[in-house]
Amino acid sequence: MSQKSRLHIPHAAARPGETPDFSYLALSPAGAVARPPVDSRMSDIEFLSNDLVRVLDENHAAQGPWNPGLDSSTLLEALRLMVLVRQYDDRMQRMQRQGKITFYVQSLGEEAVSIGGGLALRDSDMLFPAYRNQGLYILRNTGLVEMMSHCLSNTNDFCRGRQMPVFYQNAKNRVFTISGNLATQYPQAVGWAMAAAIKGEDAIAASWVGDGSTAEADFHYALTFAAVYQAPVILNVVNNQWAISTFQGVAGGERRSFAARGLGLGIPGVRVDGNDLLAVYAVTQWAAERARSGGGPTLIELVTYRGGAHSTSDDPTRYRPKDEWAAFPLGDPLHRLKGHLVQAGSWSDEQHLAMEEQMKQYVLDCWKKATTFGTMTEGPFLRVHEMFEDVFEHMPQHLQRQQAQLLELEGI
């Protein structure tokens, strides 16, 4: 032991040109982790924050007590949604590359996080997503034409051009508007859940943040309030190993799991294979049951991998090995669910290819439809004076004046 104090500066296991190394990831075999009752004492379930809940094994068979026992039609719907999300991402990414939209964020490799978690919740539950949770909007029937229209800032955009692409919303189906500021939605989800409890409703709230975002104070506010009031909320940390260029160790993931962040406050944590749709579903269902039965909050860490760039403004080859995703031990969530359905005899490669083709065509049709509401270069366009609306409920005089001034300048 050195006699001097010293700093530990976290360094990623592998950088460009180096061999990917995931030896830091603690894994448990599928089916190996016990599923305790939802009313267990804190001290009896701490293992859930260290182990890794997994259902699908290497041969895509479902194993152990966390198998949610979903029927094949539900699983096929989950698969269809994941394929749809991936096809949507693929098209929108390409549209950004062609200059049709200004910005885009893919969820490549993380599709099971939104689809598995979302499916385990009720329609009346309120979702507070992060920007990589497009799957939640798609799952809640937001409509690809509407989502694309938003990304185009066109006349059909549900936030009328106010936000840059991927900041979706769907009030009707209970999915909150996305903020560009990290983790701000976390305490808000807790507040929503507290209101549901105050009003005596049995809806719960769920929110998602990235591993990097857990460093923000808002993350910790959320945990504190959720713990103090035992709010009916599910707090998800999507640990996709990266936060732009910094690996999860920079957010403090080197010595303990993100799932363990709530233990000191008395919030149970569950670490789950985020690329295993069955496990994500089961763990979310467990947490929802706790919340609905007065058991309070649960912190879920979904272990996954960011398969694509951080966003279209990013070039990950500058900071991580090109082949890192291929080396990720938890694989690709889509292939794993597909493999499960195939080995169970309810799906085939041919059917899968046909469905992929169908989803691709559907996405293309939606894109064509969305562009009829306007693109960045071709009308119809939003009307410029609308930019002054919704700053306040009623437009104050100074904004009315500025609005008039702009219209005069624009010759409208």
Partner 1 sequence: MAQMTMIQAINSALDIMLDIDPSVVILGEDVGYFGGVFRCTEGLQKKYGDHRVIDAPIAEGGIIGTAIGLGVNGLRPVAEIQFADYIYPGFDQVVSELARLRYRSDGTFYSPVTIRTPCGGGIRGGQTHSQSPEAIFTHISGLITVMPSNPFDAKGLLVSAIESNDPVIFFEPKRIYNGPFDGDPNNPSVPWSSHPLGEVPEAYYNVPLGKAALVETGHELTIISYGTIVHVAQAAAKLAGVSADIIDVRTLMPLDIDTIRQSVSKTGRCLVAHEATRFCGYGAELVATVQEECFWSLEAPIERVTGWDTPYPHAFEWQYFPGQKRLLAGIRKVMEAK
Tell me how many residues contact ligand TPP (CB under 6 A). 16
The one among 30, 250, 267, 366 contacting partner 1 by CB under 8 A: 250
| Nearer residue to Mg ion within complex by CB, 68 or 333 | 333
Query: How far from chain centre, in Å, is Cα 194?
Result: 22
181 near ligand TPP, judged by CB under 6 A:
yes
Helix (H, G, I), strand (E, B) or coil at 93: helix
The partner residues of 56 in beta bridges, in order of sequence, read 62
Tell me how many residues contact partner 1 (CB under 8 A). 50
Q: Which residues of 52-73 are buried (b: 16+ CB within 10 A; e: fewer)?
A: bbbbbbeebebbbebbbebeee
Alpha carbons 174 and 159: distance in angstroms, whole number: 16
157 near partner 1, judged by CB under 8 A:
yes
Alpha carbons 405 and 202: distance in angstroms, whole number: 50
The one among 165, 210, 268, 307 contacting Mg ion by CB under 5 A: 210
319 near partner 1, judged by CB under 8 A:
yes
210 near ligand TPP, judged by CB under 6 A:
yes
Q: Which of 290, 310, 320, 336 is catalytic?
A: 310
Contact track, Mg ion, 65-84, x by CB under 5 A: --------------------
Token pair in block for residue 338: 């597909």
Q: Is 319 a catalytic residue?
A: yes
387 near partner 1, judged by CB under 8 A:
yes
160 near partner 1, judged by CB under 8 A:
yes
Which is nearest to 115 in space by CA: 131, 139, 140, 142?
A: 139
| Nearer residue to ligand TPP within complex by CB, 90 or 314 | 314
Q: Which of 221, 229, 319, 362 is catalytic?
A: 319
Alpha carbons 72 and 102: distance in angstroms, whole number: 39
Q: Which 121-140 residues touch ligand TPP, going by CB under 6 A?
A: 132
Q: Is 336 a catalytic residue?
A: no
Strands 298-303 and 233-239: parallel
Token pair in block for residue 274: 């985020």
235 near partner 1, judged by CB under 8 A:
no
272 with 57: CB under 8 angstroms? no
Helix (H, G, I), strand (E, B) or coil at 344: coil
Helix (H, G, I), strand (E, B) or coil at 261: helix
345 with 76: CB under 8 angstroms? no
188 near partner 1, judged by CB under 8 A:
no
Taking contact as CB under 8 A, which single stretch among the options 73-81, 108-116, 249-257, 322-330 is the one that binds partner 1?
Answer: 249-257
309 with 324: CB under 8 angstroms? no
368 near partner 1, judged by CB under 8 A:
no
240 near Mg ion, judged by CB under 5 A:
yes
324 near Mg ion, judged by CB under 5 A:
no
101 with 89: CB under 8 angstroms? no
Specify the residue for token string 């962040």: 261
Token pair in block for residue 170: 């769907």
Q: Which of 86, 150, 306, 320 is catalytic?
A: 306
Which is nearest to 136 in space by CA: 84, 181, 58?
A: 84
Residues near partner 1 (CB under 8 A) are: 7, 9-12, 15, 102-103, 153, 157, 160-165, 167, 179-182, 212-213, 215-218, 243-246, 250-252, 313-314, 318-319, 381-382, 384, 387-388, 391, 398-399, 402, 406, 409-410
Residues near Mg ion (CB under 5 A) are: 210-212, 240, 243
Residues near ligand TPP (CB under 6 A) are: 132, 180-182, 209-213, 238, 240, 242-244, 306, 310
